[in-house]
Amino acid sequence: MANTDTVRDSLIEKRAELVVRLHKITSDVRHADQPMEADFAELAVQRENDQVIDALGEATRQELTQVNRALASIDSGEYGCCSECGKEIRVERLEALPYSTKCLECASRSE
Ligand SMILES: [Zn+2]
């Protein structure tokens, strides 16, 4: 089994990074520093930007959920086991993707 202390540290670091990113994205959405009067074309562009930002925010939120789940599984001692087949996930995979919950075989099957 991989050293979960190192994984834990990198997950906590990742989580902090994601929280900052998410905060940045959501404050962008609010347009706090944007003037209220914009003409119609500008509004359309703005709305498109919002959709991109929404997608980014959503992806970040999902990543954050995965990181939290991985941290919880470290605490419960289930970390590194595939959620599909229950086999141990290879260390190389966990190093590349510390919050993966499936082994490579199951992950590629469900994609
Ligand atoms: Zn599996």
**Each residue of 50-103: pLDDT tens digit?**
888 889 999 999 999 999 999 999 999 889 999 899 999 998 898 888 888 899
The answer to whether residue 37 scores a pLDDT higher than 90 is: no
Q: How far is the CA of 32 from the centre of ligand 1 (A)?
A: 46
CA of 59 to the centre of ligand 1 (A): 24
Those residues with Cβ within 8 angstroms of residue 69's Cβ, 6 or more apart along the chain or in another chain: 99, 101
Report how far ligand 1's centroid is from the alpha carbon of 74 (Å). 18
Find the radius of gyration of the CA atoms of the chain.
Answer: 19
The reported pLDDT for the residue numbered 65 is 95
When mean pLDDT is compared across 19-23, 27-31, 92-96, the lowest value belongs to: 27-31
DSSP 88: B
Instruction: Kindly state the helix (H) or strand (E) to which residue 29 belongs, with its residue range.
Output: helix 4-29
pLDDT score at 7 = 87
Q: What is the pTM assigned to this prediction?
A: 0.72
> How far is the centre of ligand 1, averaged over its atoms, from the C-alpha of 102 (Å)?
5
* Residue that has been written with the tokens 């119609």 in this structure: 40
Question: Residue 36 above 70 pLDDT?
Answer: no
pLDDT band at 49 (very low <50, low <70, confident <90, very high): confident
Q: Tell me how far the alpha carbon of residue 54 lies from the centroid of ligand 1, in angstroms.
A: 32
For the chain, which domains are there? Answer: 4-81 (1.20.120.910)
Other residues' Cβ atoms within 10 Å of the Cβ of residue 46: 12
CB-count exposure of residue 26 (10 Å: 0-12, 13-18, 19+): middle
Q: Which are the contacts of 71, defined by CB distance < 8 A and separation ≥ 6? A: 8, 11, 12, 15
